Amino acid sequence: MVTMTDRRTATHLPKPCPLEKYLEVISGAWVPRILWYLLEGPRRFSELQHDLDGISAKVLASKLRGLERENIVKRTVHPTNPPQVEYAVTERGRAFEPIFKAMEQAASQLFPPAGRPSPMKDEFASPTEPAAGDLTAA
């Protein structure tokens, strides 16, 4: 009798998902938002903490250290008194820019600001139901 385990040989296993490491690096609620602001330009720690309303200093420092370890963010200490620390996206981190732009475009189409109809609303309407936000059918 052939068991399910016998069928799962190395030749039948799916290849590893190429997005795994990418998703590991940018997972969580804060990292994508940190990168979003840093892609606009360098920011000081206090500026990032202000931008990311609700993040604690401990969590922000931890997330920035993780991004530094992955060479996505560079930390620069300026010799001022008191020392000023600035964070910026590295060249490697810039690879996220087109991905974030595509995500921004998708978000604006899928979740338009209040009062503006979605250009994709008809794609989701069934043939018997009016499109979301279609008040003329009522």
Helix (H, G, I), strand (E, B) or coil at 74: strand
Find the mean pLDDT for residues 41-49: 96
Q: Per-residue pLDDT tens for 105-124?
A: 999 999 988 766 655 554 44
Alpha carbon 74 to its chain's center: 18
30-59 average pLDDT score: 95
CA torsion sign for 108, 113, 117, 123 is positive
pLDDT average, residue stretch 5-25? 73
> Architecture of 19-88 per CATH?
Orthogonal Bundle (1.10)
pLDDT at 119: 52
0.85 exceeded by pTM? no
Binned at pLDDT 50, 70 and 90, residue 16 comes out as confident
* Phi/psi-derived region of residue 122, left when phi > 0, alpha when psi is between -120 and 50, beta in every other case: alpha
